[in-house]
Amino acid sequence: MIESIAIVGATGAVGRLIRQLLEDREFPCKKITFLASKRSVGTPITFRGEEHKVQLLSPDAFNDIDLAIGSTPDDVAEEFCPWAVQRNCVVVDESGFWRMDPKVPLVVPEINPEAALAHQGIISSPNCSTTQMVLAMKPLHDAGKIRRVIVSTYQATSGAGVQGQADLIDGSRAFLDQQDYDYQAFAHPIAFNLIPQIGSHKEQGYTSEEMKMVYETQKIFGDGSIKVCPTCVRVPVENCHSESILVETEKKITVEEARKLFAATQGIQVIDDLSQGEYPMPSTCSDDDRTFIGRIREDLSCENGLAFWCVSDNLRKGAATNAIQIAELLVRSQAAT
């Protein structure tokens, strides 16, 4: 049974949201432990009306812990996940380190919940830009089998953490005041600008962020035949990633059929009335666990193509919410046995 849980990286932006959502969703646990690096040890955290102190992330911190949810850099996840597994603690990991490990399931509960139940101690949650895209792809893939995806992302600065947010706000203020600003999270100014690179140079001119979308999509669907051509762009938006997605299916799906498929899918909300100026936007989709879809239309260049616009809160469904949904899946599975 899952009675004790730990939040690893508890003082980070996603870690703070994880503990908020655990309260909001009334996640069942008798004991909770908050873990972080040495500089955060002793930080007070209030959870369900009780004050806790952040403890040091160490191997022995996972003694008597049943489940850990981690939101840490890759190098930290590489180290701590084996510590937890060796002590019979299951880890739901937000980092990118374990995602493509063949022994580690990569899970979006609305798509491949069965994969989570076959874990060997670690379950990985996908990259935020991948998560909203595959959720939108799911009903179309089931109905018509997707052969190809062309996606351009418009990714918010919150995806670069607290410092990314500061760079947007403080950099914009400095720009308007005609002052210099020393950007920390980005290699170029983000204020009043677009940066068509997220991540490092990877292969064939694609970045690491773009290749995550390729490989993670194929792994989640268990279908290496799905072709994905991504372009990832950082934009001066505080929160919510947006994506322009074009899919080509083997079987034609009309706009009307697609709209019904999206509307019937758990976790998706359709907002699509171009004549009334109604479509998803970051300013209206933040602080929501759903993935929003609009601008649904036929691709004019491809017989079996559909184009649409997709917006999702990258800190929630793209990170914290998906991890908690995986944890809830494990709880339900244990309760059913």
- Average predicted confidence (pLDDT) for the chain: 97
Residues 8 and 135 grouped into a single domain: no
Residues 102 and 134 grouped into a single domain: no
d(CA 34, CA 16): 10
Residue 334 binned pLDDT confidence (cut-offs 50, 70, 90): confident
Query: Nearest 5°: phi and psi at 16?
Result: -65, -40
What's the average model confidence in pLDDT over 106-135? Answer: 97
- Give the strands of the sheet with 4-8, arranged side by side: 55-56, 31-36, 4-8, 67-70, 90-93, 122-124
Helix axes 255-263, 128-144, angle to 10 degrees: 120
CATH code for position 231: 3.30.360.10
Residues 49 and 29 grouped into a single domain: yes
Q: Compute and round to an integer the Cα radius of gyration of the chain.
A: 20
What's the average model confidence in pLDDT over 56-77? Answer: 97
| Beta pairing class for 55-56 and 31-36 | parallel
CB count within 10 Å of CB 145 equals 14
- Does position 22 have pLDDT exceeding 90, yes or no? yes
- Does position 336 have pLDDT exceeding 90, yes or no? no
What's the average model confidence in pLDDT over 178-183? Answer: 97
CA 144 to mean position of chain CA atoms: 25
- Does position 1 have pLDDT exceeding 90, yes or no? no
Residues 140 and 252 grouped into a single domain: yes
pLDDT on residue 99: 98
Give how many domains the chain has, as a whole number.
2
What's the average model confidence in pLDDT over 56-70? Answer: 97
**Paired tokens of 296:** 């649904």
Residues 157 and 304 grouped into a single domain: yes
Residues 210 and 271 grouped into a single domain: yes
Residues 223 and 304 grouped into a single domain: yes
**Paired tokens of 1:** 């049974």
Residues 137 and 241 grouped into a single domain: yes
d(CA 10, CA 15): 4
Residues 96 and 167 grouped into a single domain: no
Residue 103 binned pLDDT confidence (cut-offs 50, 70, 90): very high
pLDDT tens per residue across span 279-311: 999 999 999 999 999 999 999 999 999 999 999
pLDDT on residue 235: 98
CATH code for position 24: 3.40.50.720
pLDDT on residue 2: 87
- Active site amino acids: 128, 241
Residues 147 and 159 grouped into a single domain: yes
pLDDT on residue 291: 98
- Does position 312 have pLDDT exceeding 90, yes or no? yes
- Does position 335 have pLDDT exceeding 80, yes or no? no
**Paired tokens of 139:** 């009903």
Residues 136 and 193 grouped into a single domain: yes
Residues 210 and 332 grouped into a single domain: no
CB count within 10 Å of CB 333 equals 14
Domain residue limits at 40: 4-126+319-336
Residue 267 binned pLDDT confidence (cut-offs 50, 70, 90): very high
| Beta pairing class for 291-298 and 305-312 | antiparallel
